[in-house]
Amino acid sequence: MKLKMELRTSVAAVIFLLQFMLGVSSIPAQTPAASPASPITAQVFRLDGGNSTYAFGVNERGELQALYWGGRLGAQDKIPAAHSSPEMASFDSPYTVTPQEYSAWGAGLFTEPALKVTFADGNRDLVLHFVSAKSTSTQSLEILLKDISCQIYVTLRYAIDAESGILARSAIIENKEKQPVVVEQAAAAQWTLPPARYSLTYLTGRWAGEWSLNQEPIIGAARVIESRRGTTGHQANPWLAISRDANQSAPGASSRPGAQEETGEVWFGALAWSGSWRFTVEHDQRDSVRVTGGFNPFDFGYKLKSGEKLETPIFYGGYSAHGLGGASRLLHHFELAHILPQAPDPKPRPVIYNSWEATEFNVDEPGQVALAEKAASIGVDRFVMDDGWFGQRKTDHAGLGDWYVNKEKFPNGLKPLIDKVHALGMDFGLWVEPEMINPDSDLYRKHPEWVLNFPGRPRSESRNQLVLNLARADVRDYLENVLDQLLTQNDIAFLKWDYNRNWSEPGWDQVPVDEQKRVYVEFIRNLYSILAELRQKHPKVEIESCSGGGGRVDLGILSYTDEVWPSDNTDPFDRLAMQDGFTYAYTPQIMMAWVTDSPHWLNGRATSLSYRMLSSMQGSLGIGANLNHWTAEDFATAKRLIAAYHAAQRTIVRGDLYRLLSPRDGSEFSSTESVSTDKKQAVVFAFSHSTQKGRGFPLLQWRGLDPKAEYQLTWIEGTARPETPASASGAWWMNHGIQLELKGDFQAAAFRLDRQR
């Protein structure tokens, strides 16, 4: 995998010191345990970017050792050389006590290994020593490691982003032995933080309940966050943050304060992989914290023949001195500038209409045209027809795999509908679920052998569907061809790419038994390659990653897709907390948020259209309601608010996000603020769940404005108290703040500030 983060930014802003001794290219195997005179002790590698510095070095034994990760150090500061730690006790070997930069399982390692290998002769001991270093650009380098006696080489890749200081790390494992080896565990990176008290923040969920933010002290033992599902998963997301506790002397876990929103040091990480993954967070015997992340070792076994390589995904890591809020702002800008397909300047998402909640599978030409006319009348930019248009698709029992138009529903194909949508001033999008197949489909009848399965074992269905084995070259080529034709034959601007189940029985019996577990890697690589080729052949087509909601959201898929569907749960109140959790890891630009019907199908909760609109306007806005049921007043409200959204969209989805009041933990109130990066505009949303005991909305003090500039207040929804000024300085809005009148159940307000001078 190529490092996605290309270093396009100016070098001048960053000081990069690569301190290694030229000419030292290898270390003799079995370097004596203590040889302080060895020249390699002087080797320290340092990467600087944004407000952070990352450093590691080679110790006396020839091991690569973590040295520093945190706030940016002075350009002239010399980072002390690496020194391996001595044995702590007879139970803790020097190898396990030394903070290895990328540890292999061997030599008495008791902490989580980055790499574990079984050799053809049964040997499972692997000890990596430094061989050489190569600067690949002014802000990136590669380190070559090798086992002390066997021909296993590991290349560690590092690239730091000049602006954010976010570091991209990955590893390439190469077998130069004469015999094959099996890689049983391969992390992209390990990260070490020095002894201190820390708290862990991570995201978990379930279908229709994604994006719960969890916070807990890091205490003894290990915390595993993972997916074993062959995909990213709803249950946990491959992102985490670790905060240094404000009170380092607090004795017990329960009294420790945890992560702060706008203050304190935070280290964060996100894995760019859409298959099974695992993070292990350890609090080791030295009170250090170590994070290991990469392929999930569960059921893993990647056979490497002689001369073959295995490349891991990229594990991104960053540092902020401004709490979780600062960390998420860094990530948002990094995703926009380096990850998304349209980086460094992705277009704000069109406001979409989607048919799913209105019609489900009952799509046909007249029905979709009627919805499209209504959607166009309120200012929608893109009309998306969801599930139901293809094969014999009437329910979820049939049709997946047959990506041709259903002639009963669309007798003249898709063209008349697409032409109508264009005539209404919108572009057209279509739902597909390419990796799936219903047993009741022409494709399955023709190719029952194309699904993931163990021969002679049952094929477990979920939603009446099976998973196509995309690891197979013929399946990969077939899908790419079918989708290419669909996009060539129809004027389609957008694909909503769905994925509605996880793997079971992940067999791949067309390859030898000892190669079948490669399915965990090859499937995802082929998925990425199809997406990349479609984008290359159809550069104007945009793609959404959906997996029954937020089951496939990660920095891997986001290199190929422009937006994601965070959840099938569109209840506007539930969405406040879900959107809050989502934005700790991902930019609001990609967070699609539809306004749907009330009462909501999931919770039965009734809310006003204005509340629903404002909840969705915090991200990339869409409408998913049945417009055939709307009143004239509904159309007027939606039209007014879509216009207001269009006017401020860039600030909302591309600005700096501040979470003024969190909706988590049953909070009565919540509020977010987005400030454009040039500080010319700010937009605030505020929500009240239900007024209790007459309590008023807490004072809102804005953040991130220019204190000296003058800002004018404009209401998007709601009204100001009479004493609120129409215009005041940034200092006034940030210090004096504003008091809202929000009384009752499910109330919402939104307003913006525009800089006058």
**Between 175 and 359, CB nearer to ligand DGJ:** 359
Residue nearest to ligand DGJ (CB): 387
Q: Are 481 and 414 in contact (CB under 8 A)?
A: no
Q: Between 450 and 499, name the residue whose CB sits nearer to ligand DGJ.
A: 499
92 versus 387: smaller Cβ distance to ligand DGJ: 387
Between residues 457 and 463, which has the closer beta carbon with respect to ligand DGJ? 463
User: Is residue 434 at the binding interface for ligand DGJ, with CB under 6 A as the rule?
Assistant: no
Q: How far is the CB of 84 from ligand DGJ (least distance, A)?
A: 51
Q: Single out the residue of 330, 378, 382 nearest to residue 354, CA to CA.
A: 382
Q: Angle between the 415-423 and 365-377 helix axes, to the nearest 10 degrees? A: 10
Least distance (Å) from ligand DGJ to the CB of residue 463?
A: 8
Min dist. Cβ of residue 328 to ligand DGJ (A): 24
Q: Shortest Cβ distance from residue 500 to ligand DGJ (Å)? A: 5
Q: Which is nearer to ligand DGJ, 358 or 648 (CB)?
A: 358
Cβ-based nearer residue to ligand DGJ, 69 or 565:
565
Say if CB 298 and CB 509 are below 8 A apart. no
Interface residue with ligand DGJ among 63, 147, 568, 656 (CB under 6 A) is: 568
Tell the burial category of 663 from Cβ atoms under 10 Å away from its Cβ (0-12, 13-18, 19+).
buried
Residue 196: CB atoms within 10 Å = 13
CB 160 within 8 A of CB 8: no
For residue 387, give the nearest of 372, 403, 371, 375 by alpha carbon. Answer: 403
> Which CB, 551 or 704, lies closer to ligand DGJ?
551
- The correct pick among 48, 163, 498, 597 for binding ligand DGJ (CB under 6 A) is 498
- Distant-in-sequence contacts of 365-368, Cβ < 8 A, 24+ apart: 365/409, 365/410, 365/411, 365/412, 365/416, 365/417, 368/417
Shortest CB 431 distance to ligand DGJ, Å: 6
- Say whether residue 359 binds ligand DGJ (CB under 6 A): no
CB atoms within 10 A of CB 258: 16
Identify which of 447, 356, 437, 355 has the alpha carbon closest to the alpha carbon of residue 399: 437
Structure letter (DSSP) for residue 696: P
By CB under 6 A, residue 494 contacts ligand DGJ: no
| Beta-carbon count within 10 A of 211 CB | 28
Q: How far is CA 212 from CA 22, 29, 235, 584, 626, in A?
A: 49, 48, 10, 10, 29
Question: Would you count residue 565 as binding ligand DGJ (CB under 6 A)?
Answer: yes
Q: Which is nearer to ligand DGJ, 268 or 499 (CB)?
A: 499
Minimum distance, C-beta of residue 568 to ligand DGJ, in the bound complex (Å): 5
* Least CB distance to ligand DGJ at residue 486 (A): 17
List the one residue from 431, 444, 450, 478 that touches ligand DGJ (CB under 6 A): 431
Binding mask 657-686 for ligand DGJ (x = CB under 6 A): ------------------------------
- β-pair partners for 711: 728, 755
**356, 403, 645, 687: residue in contact with ligand DGJ (rule CB under 6 A):** 356
| Residues paired with 49 in a beta bridge | 52
Distance of closest approach, residue 5 Cβ to ligand DGJ, in angstroms: 30
Quick one: 608 exposed, middle or buried, by C-beta within 10 A (0-12, 13-18, 19+)?
A: middle
Report the 10 Å Cβ neighbour count for 473.
11
Q: Of 100 and 438, which CB lies nearer to ligand DGJ in the complex structure? A: 438
Q: 95 with 129: CB under 8 angstroms?
A: no
Name which of 367 and 698 has its Cβ closer to ligand DGJ: 367
Asked whether position 500 contacts ligand DGJ by CB under 6 A, the answer is yes
User: Which residue, 495 or 530, is less far from ligand DGJ as judged by CB?
Assistant: 495
Provide the minimum distance between the beta carbon of 435 and ligand DGJ in the complex, in angstroms, as a whole number.
Answer: 13
Residues 360-419 that bind ligand DGJ (CB under 6 A): 386-387
Under rule CB under 6 A, residue 566 binds ligand DGJ: no
Contact of 546 with 591, CB cutoff 8 Å: no
* Least distance (Å) between residue 387 CB and ligand DGJ: 4
Q: Cβ 550 to ligand DGJ, closest distance in Å?
A: 9
CB 209 within 8 A of CB 569: yes
Whichever of 522 and 563 has its CB closer to ligand DGJ, that residue is 563
Task: Tell the smallest beta-carbon distance from residue 388 to ligand DGJ (Å).
Answer: 8
Q: Is 48 in the site for ligand DGJ (CB under 6 A)?
A: no
Size of the site for ligand DGJ (CB under 6 A): 11
* 199 bridge partner residues: 217, 243
CA distances from 499 to 261, 387, 399, 441, 465 (A): 34, 12, 14, 17, 10
Cα separation of 687 and 672, whole Å?
Answer: 9
According to DSSP, residue 440 is labeled B
Minimum CB–partner distance for residue 594 and ligand DGJ (Å): 9
- Pairing type for strands 128-137 and 140-147 reads antiparallel
Site residues for ligand DGJ, window 527-556 (CB under 6 A)?
Answer: 546, 548-549
Kindly list the residues in this chain that would bind ligand DGJ in the complex (CB under 6 A).
356, 386-387, 431, 498, 500, 546, 548-549, 565, 568
